Structure 1
Amino acid sequence: MRIHDISLAARGRWHILTAALIAGWILVGLGLLIASSLGAPVVWWDIIHPFTIGALTTAIIVFSTHFTEALTRTAGGDYRGVGSRVALVQIGLILLLIDRAGYDWSPLADVASTLIIASLTWHLWFVVRRLRGSLSGSFAVTVPFYIAASVFMIVSVVLVILSGNGVGEYSLLIGAHSRGMVWGFAWLTVIGTVVTLLPTLSATAISPTARARCIRALIVHCAGLGCAMALYAVGLTRAAGVAQLLVVLAALLIIQPVLATVMGRSPRLTTATVAVIAGLLWMLALCAGDAISAAVGAYPRTITLVVLPAFLGAGLLQLVTGVLHHLLPILTGARPNTADRTGYARLLLINLGGLLSLLDAIAAGLIMMGIGLAANIFAVGRALYLQKRLEN
């Protein structure tokens, strides 16, 4: 049966395009990682930014827009606004990669960062406007997580602009910047989304306890992380680690009832479900490890270098590619493919790679996570292609 609904066809084209963009940046990041391992003069940030800004920021803007519209019942079907925000991020990242190829921060990096701030400010305004002007359902309580996440990213980019222009101590500001991006922007978005997404993937009930705790958890998270970032920036790193433990507490307030409800209701354990649960647990454990390490005196940037590969590969990217495997066929008008016999093998590679990256076998860990994630991207494309063929 062919799709004749123009809005559905437009939605399908939009989500295929953005998924291809996300997958493309993941592959670019993996390519730069391989080039660096072979001796090419690739700057560390050139490896990280395709994953964090290219793949993750793009995914977060696209899907938090989708979930905001769904949860506030304000879906408009017009992708020009979100498309423009995504385009600003892509231009900003490309300019940043061009600038960082020269190793030194320059006015071009300021322009790139400003474009990214503009995109996130626009996204923040969009989410606030939709929340205030909606007939919000009971699940719109998770939408403020997207607002707070955008604020943390804007602050984090401002910190890196200051550090690049010689304001404050570079390493300390970068430590605060990385935590605002990781535990503010990315982690808050995940926590807010998982309340409704994981029960949907596993065909179980949404936890009323998690929903009731959302605002309390968000306040605890913002207070803890905001305090921690300020303390990191001025060099009080032990106190910052203690404050960051509030971020762990806030996450537990949400994740514990969500997982208890899901696992207590005979969940549908597809590749997507397991990927989301595994990614969630990885990020929670790494957040606790990051906070405790700082509290006992480890240097913040050293901690970042240790935990970031596992956070990106086994945590966020495992979760994002797992969700795409389920969500993309639905958003493009096809049926989700739950029969994926190689899925667990891919997840095993990713999770073993994450473990090895923490055990000082960084090269082996990165290779395993890279293969698993690349295979996940291929599986998403293959599932979409096969399902669309069936629909046609």
Structure 2
Amino acid sequence: MSTIVAGDQAPPSGSGPTGRATWHRRVGMLPLAYLVALVAVALTHPVLPAWRWLGMHLLLLGVATNAIVIWSAHFTSAVLRCPPPASRHGDGIRLTVLNLGVAGVLASGVVDQPWIGVVGAGMVFAAVAAHLVWLVARLRAALPARFAVTVHHYLAATGALLVGIPVGAWMLVVDDVSRSRLLLFHAHVNLLGWVTLTVLGTLLTLWPTVLRTRMADGAATAARRGLPVAVAGLTAVSTGVLAWWPLLAVGGLALTATAVLLTAVPAAQAARRKTPASFPSWSITAAAGWLVVALGVDAWTLLSASDPAVAADRFSAVLVPFLIGFVGQVILGALAYLLPVALGGGPALVRERTERLDRHWPQRVATTNAALAVFVLAVPPYVRITTSLLLLAALLQFLVPAVHVLLASRRQP
């Protein structure tokens, strides 16, 4: 049984204006630019207002949302075997509107002008809605495809974000007794919906490709079974935190963990066949572990809180393993594999780029996860500062070669 190779199944045209390689040379810098901004925030945070909020939204709204919109379109075309587009004009408009909106949301937190953020959120909503329409159109036009369940994950994830964006915009201008519940709702819908559903759908084909092995038998079936479980879990969690029924919310988290397990079983079978031995494979593996940790911490936080305000105050304990451990590592791992392949240029160039992004990978993965494990514990402030610097150093070890690879590809004929 063969699997779809993320880069190789798309049409090999890279020289024309709509070619895959040309397109990824143009848009590949977007997530990396937000990572650079995140590094800048980390280095200057003592003088920045609301730096935690800014850093969180740089990662989720800047890095993750751009990466998801770009690569979910790529995977949709691959799994549905869509013909190459005649024009990337619509894609470019969507990404332009998206990033103008992201800039507005981020600026509102810096200059404390909520209505700038509301306008920005509206632009993000419009871009994501257009992305949803694009996904639906591709799915309807395609012939039946074995891995169409990946696109179904993307549809559910995009729908979740379209629910979460208005709530976030509302919180920018309204501060009342419902804020704690809205914050918990907004965070869970975006993290468990937009990010987690996308990752679960993408790993169906990406994971065996990263390992360079065949897909485990039953992987597609597991994904089809896991999607309704994950959606049911998301619905229960979001309803539970909004109505403040903690037991319902925790039951939803249990369903989410079940969906993750359904996906993880065939992934583990593929890993037994071909042991992970690269930065992408180990970064994604570590991310999966931190997702389980984050779900467990989330359940404890909700069960132990006496009211929504206490749960919202404690939610930072969930954000660290979720944002850094899961979201950060899965994005870096995926980009480390996808960028060298999607930029084209032939096998030799792909190997060269991959080796550059893999350099010192055992040290980088070990440093990141050991530092994060210490950071989440109750340790003195100076230990947290040290571990934060180690995490920042590991990020730079990815970011510097990734930017170099992208800039070098732009100089190719």
- Shorter-chain TM-score above 0.5: yes
Q: Write the distance in 1 (CA, Å) between the matches of 2:97 and 2:31.
A: 15
Query: How much has 1:353 moved relative to structure 2?
Result: 2.5
Please report how far the alpha carbon of residue 24 of structure 1 lies from its aligned counterpart in structure 2 after TM superposition: 1.1
The question of 1:86 aligning with 2:95 is answered yes
Aligned counterpart in structure 1 of residue 154 of structure 2, from 130, 139, 146 = 146
Pick one of 204, 212, 225 that aligns with 1:195.
204
Aligned runs of 1:69-84 on 2, under 5 Å? Answer: 69-77=77-85, 78-84=87-93
Moved more, 229-238 or 65-74: 229-238
Task: Name which of 48, 61, 65 aligns with 1:53.
Answer: 61
- How far off is 1:184 after superposition? 0.7
Contact kept, 8 Å, 2:301 with 2:315, in 1: the verdict is no
Are residues 341 and 165 of structure 1, via their aligned partners in 2, closer, same or farther at CA, if it must alter by over 3 Å? closer
Structure 1 pair 154–366 and aligned structure 2 pair: CA distance change class (3 A): farther
Gaps of 5+ in 1: none
For residues 144-223 of structure 1, the aligned pairs below 5 Å read: 144-166=152-174, 169-223=178-232
Residues 1:309 and 2:320 aligned together: yes
RMSD: 2.4
Runs of 5+ consecutive residues of structure 2 not aligned to the other structure: 1-11
Please say if residues 15 and 21 of structure 2, whose CA atoms lie closer than 8 Å, have aligned partners that are also in contact.
no
SS of the aligned residue for 1:139 comes to coil
3-state SS of 2:49 partner: coil
Is the alpha carbon distance of 1:211 and 1:270 closer, same or farther for their aligned partners in structure 2, counting shifts above 3 Å?
A: same
| 1:30 aligns with one of 39, 46, 50 | 39
Q: How many residues matched?
A: 386
State the SS of the aligned residue for 1:177: helix
Report the alpha carbon displacement of residue 268 of structure 1 after superposing the two structures with TM. Answer: 5.1
> What's the CA shift for 1:10?
4.1
Q: From 76, 97, 111, give the equivalent of 1:102.
A: 111
Residue 5 of structure 2 is matched in structure 1 by none
- Residue identity in the other structure for 1:300: A
Paired residue for 1:323, among 323, 334, 343? Answer: 334
In 2, Cα distance between equivalents of 1:333 and 1:162: 43
Are 2:365 and 1:344 equivalent residues in the alignment?
no
CA offsets, 1:320-377, max 9 Å, x none?
Answer: 2222222112111131444434122122222122212211454333322221112111
Q: Letter of the aligned partner of 2:191 in structure 1?
A: V
Describe the shift of the 1:309–1:26 C-alpha distance in structure 2 as closer, same or farther (beyond 3 A): farther
Tell me the equivalent position of 1:356.
374
Contact 2:343 2:409 in 1 (8 A): no
Q: Deviations over 1:49-86 (max 9, x none)?
A: 11111110000000000000100111434322222222
CA offset digits 1:152-181 (Å, max 9, x no partner): 111111222233343761111011101111
Equivalent residue, structure 1, for 2:242: 233
- In structure 2, what is the Cα distance between the partners aligned to 1:114 and 1:94? 12
Q: CA 1:40/1:95 → structure 2, altered by over 3 Å: closer, same or farther?
A: closer
Q: Residues 114 and 5 of structure 1: is their aligned pair in 2 closer, same or farther, counting only changes over 3 Å?
A: closer
Q: CA deviation at 1:284?
A: 2.7
d(CA) in 2 for partners of 1:386, 1:92? 29
Partner residue in 2 for 1:374: 396
Task: Report how far residue 233 of structure 1 moved.
Answer: 1.5
* Matched position secondary structure for 1:46: helix
Match of 1:281 among 285, 289, 306: 289
The separation in 1 between residues aligned to 2:25 and 2:191, in whole angstroms, is: 26
Of 378-387 and 290-299, the range deviating more from structure 2? 378-387
Residue type matched to 1:170 in 2? R
Q: Alpha-carbon deviations, 1:59-117, whole Å to 9, x = none?
A: 00000000001001114343222222221221111111222223363x32221111111
Do the aligned residues in 1 keep the contact of 2:164 with 2:189 (CA within 8 Å)?
yes
Whole-angstrom CA distance in 1 between matches of 2:14 and 2:168:
45
Question: Quick check: 2:14–2:22 contact (8 Å CA) kept in 1?
Answer: no
Pair 119,25 (structure 1): closer, same or farther in 2 beyond 3 Å: same
Q: State how far apart, in whole Å, the 1-side matches of 2:331 and 2:343 are.
A: 17
266-275 or 172-181, which deviates more: 266-275
Report how far residue 134 of structure 1 moved: 0.2
Instruction: Tell me, in whole angstroms, the C-alpha distance in 2 between the residues paired with 1:250 and 1:312.
Output: 19
Measured after TM superposition, the shift of residue 206 of structure 1 is: 1.1
* Aligned-residue offset at 1:4: 8.8
Check conservation: 1:156, 1:180, Cα contact below 8 A.
yes
The normalised TM-score by structure 2 is 0.86
Could you tell me which residue of structure 2 aligns to residue 257 of structure 1? 266
